[in-house]
Each structure stands twice: as C-alpha cells, then as structure tokens.
Amino acid sequence: MSDLAPVIVCDELKKSYGPLEVLKGVTGTLHQGDVVSVIGPSGCGKSTFLRCLNRLETINGGSLEVMGIDISHPQLNQKVLRQLRSKVSMVFQHFNLFPHLTVLKNLTIAPQKVLKTSESDCRDRALHYLEKVGLGDKANVYPDQLSGGQKQRVAIARSLCMKPEVILFDEPTSALDPELVGEVLGVMRQLAEDGMTMVVVTHEMQFAREVSNRVLFFNQGIIEESGPPAELFNQPKSDRLKNFLSRIKNSNS
Ligand code: ADP
Ligand code: MG
C-alpha cells in the first residue's frame, strides 16, 4: 500500500450503453504519482473507463471518487463538475485542438473560462508549458501548421495549463506516424519523472514497461490482471493476457 493520498478510488464500477454492459465491475485505487498503463484488446472498455473517470460518462453502478469528490451520482451540480474538470484532464488520440484558434488561444481558453484565471496569467502559463513540451516557438501558429506529434504535444501542454492532479491519456500516439511517436512519449516520460499522476491507455508496451509503475490488463469490461510491469509482462498468469501479449509482439515485429 502506498501512503500517498488516493487520487481515484473506484469500486465495482459499472457502465452500460443501453443493453450493452461495457464495464462490468472495475475496482482499483490510483495514488498520487502513480503512472498506470491500461492495456487490452480493442472494444474491451478502456476508453469508456477513462471517460467515466472525468465524467464524460455517468456510471451505472458501483462507486467512483476522484480527489475525494464522489462522482457516482447521476446528477452532479455545475460547481462539482467544474472542480472535477480542473483536477482531471484528458489527452485524446485525435488531439481535439480548435483548428480556428492559435496554439496559444487553444491553451488559454479553458483556464480562462473554467478556472477564471486572468488573461496574462493564462498566457504566461501557456508559454511556460509550450516551452516544456519543446514548442516555445509555436504559440502563434494554427494547429494545421503543425505535425501530428507537435499537435499532440500542444494537447499535452493544454492539459498542463489546467494544473491537473491527474492526466488521462487515451491512446495518445495511435494516430501518429511511427516516426513521430517518440517525441510524444518523450514528453510523457518527462511528466512521469516530474511526478505527474497519469493513466495511459496505450499499445506502446515498451513505454508501459519502462515508465509505468502499474499495468492494468482490461478484458471484456473487467480488470483481468494487474501488477507491476515486470510481473505482468514477464509472468502473465491468465491465458488471455498471454495471448494478448503474443499478438501484440507479433504485430510489432
Ligand atoms: P476500447 O477503448 O477498449 O477499444 P471502448 O471503451 O471504446 O473500447 O468501447 C467498449 C464498447 O462500448 C465497444 O463495444 C463500443 O462499441 C461500445 N461503445 C463505446 N462508446 C459507446 C457509445 N457512446 N454508445 C454505444 N456504445 C458504445
Ligand atoms: Mg479506445
């Protein structure tokens, strides 16, 4: 057990879309500074799980606490939602930048609107984080003028501008050309080293192995197996995980 504060506590979390039960009882605790990789076959509920954690979805059963805020209830007031969104930030596969806004404006809009941070503080913060992801010279360009890897680094800087307690990454490198994957993983590795709490859905097994302290293997809506990466990758217990790992290995070679 870690003595650091729990950031996310979920217990028997369930989520259905109509008759389709996607999450069938997910239980786990994430502590401050944890870097957790989520792996598993397509369609097993990884994205749905992340979306529940920042309340892009309401859950149908079980309990979910984020930074001490109970977000299980089907109806949450705006104040609680704003509080949650300022603590939990998300980075998507397809970046989700506003194409009609400059990089700088993409970074300042949410802190200004949601956190009510002053314009000049937002700007300073944005420039600081752009520098941190190696894009200090791109503040005034539009997203279309950037490569995929640069766009994703902007999206990470945008997340950081919210000063989140935890960042959720949903396959952040899956939409990138292979030669651009490394620059994004490099930024994420640096964040992990700086102590950021992170949940990363990924197919990058080397990243999961080297950067995360825990790996969750999702299968058919439950956590089928979890543990430190060395254990999970070197001594998988379930046949499903063994099969999954061998399929990934073959597709990467
Ligand atoms: P993963 O990220 O592991 O590939 P998802 O969480 O995206 O899986 O999806 C899990 C299952 O839920 C899939 O069968 C998918 O089709 C279904 N699903 C996801 N989002 C929705 C939605 N908004 N409405 C209906 N079904 C959905
Ligand atoms: Mg997904």
Q: Tens digits of per-residue pLDDT, 72-112?
A: 888 888 888 888 888 999 999 999 999 999 999 999 999 99
Q: Strands (DSSP E) along the chain, which ranges?
A: 6-17, 20-31, 35-39, 61-66, 69-70, 88-91, 166-170, 197-201, 214-219, 222-227
Q: For residue 149, which phi and psi values (nearest 5 degrees)?
A: -65, -40
Given a cut of 80, whether residue 2 has pLDDT beyond it is: no
- Angstrom distance (rounded) from CA 89 to CA 155: 10
Residue among 13, 14, 16, 20 whose CB has most ligand 1 atoms within 8 A, to mutate? 20
Which protein residue's CA is at the shortest distance from atom 27 of ligand 1?
Answer: 17
Given a cut of 70, whether residue 240 has pLDDT beyond it is: yes
Which protein residue's CA is at the shortest distance from atom 26 of ligand 1?
Answer: 17
State pTM to two decimals: 0.95
Ligand 2 centroid to residue 48 C-alpha, Å: 7
Instruction: Give the pLDDT mean for 8-35.
Output: 96
Q: Is the CB of 236 under 6 A from ligand 1?
A: no
Sign of CA dihedral 113, 119, 125, 130: positive
Q: Is the CB of 77 under 6 A from ligand 1?
A: no
Residue with the two structure tokens 């980075």: 91
Predicted local distance difference test score (pLDDT) of residue 149:
97
Given a cut of 60, whether residue 48 has pLDDT beyond it is: yes
The confidence band for 237, taking pLDDT boundaries of 50, 70 and 90, is very high
Q: What are the CA-CA distances from residue 210 to residues 4, 6, 12, 111 (Å)?
A: 22, 23, 29, 32
Within 10 angstroms of residue 134's Cβ, the number of other Cβ atoms is 15
Predicted local distance difference test score (pLDDT) of residue 64:
96
The string of pLDDT tens digits covering residues 161-214 is 999 999 999 999 999 999 999 999 999 999 999 999 999 999 999 999 999 999
Q: Is the CB of 98 under 6 A from ligand 1?
A: no
Ligand 1 centroid to residue 31 C-alpha, Å: 26
Q: Are 12 and 211 in contact (CB under 8 A)?
A: no
Ligand 1 centroid to residue 68 C-alpha, Å: 27
Which protein residue's CA is at the shortest distance from atom 14 of ligand 1?
Answer: 43
- Angstrom distance (rounded) from CA 86 to CA 91: 14
Given a cut of 80, whether residue 3 has pLDDT beyond it is: no
Ligand 2 centroid to residue 228 C-alpha, Å: 22
Q: Is the CB of 15 under 6 A from ligand 1?
A: no
- Angstrom distance (rounded) from CA 204 to CA 26: 23
Ligand 2 centroid to residue 118 C-alpha, Å: 35
